[in-house]
Amino acid sequence: MQSDTLLTLKLPEGYTFSDLKLRRCDDDAIDLDMELVRLICQINGLDFEKVCQNPGPVVTSILTVWYKSHIASGGQPDALMEELKTQGPRLN
């Protein structure tokens, strides 16, 4: 996954990483709660409609930043995120 060293992303209060409902679809794509992505876009001043046109970069950033925060605060590893970390960038 890409580095978030230059990225500052505000995460919504009152939600946990698992609220993203991250899962792999039958076609090997990644699915997650896009309403929560909409909220994250809103609190970070991002145009959700533009993000939807090319969600990969923003979704990858959200997953990276939130998962690192989740693990750093003692959260349990997520099997899909651990798999994605070993595969490198491919959230398109």
Strand partners, 30: 24
Percent of the chain with pLDDT over 70: 87
Distance from C-alpha of 83 to C-alpha of 87, rounded to nearest angstrom? 6
Q: How does pLDDT run across 66-81, given as a tens digit for each residue?
A: 999 999 999 999 999 9
Q: How does pLDDT run across 46-63, given as a tens digit for each residue?
A: 999 999 999 999 999 999
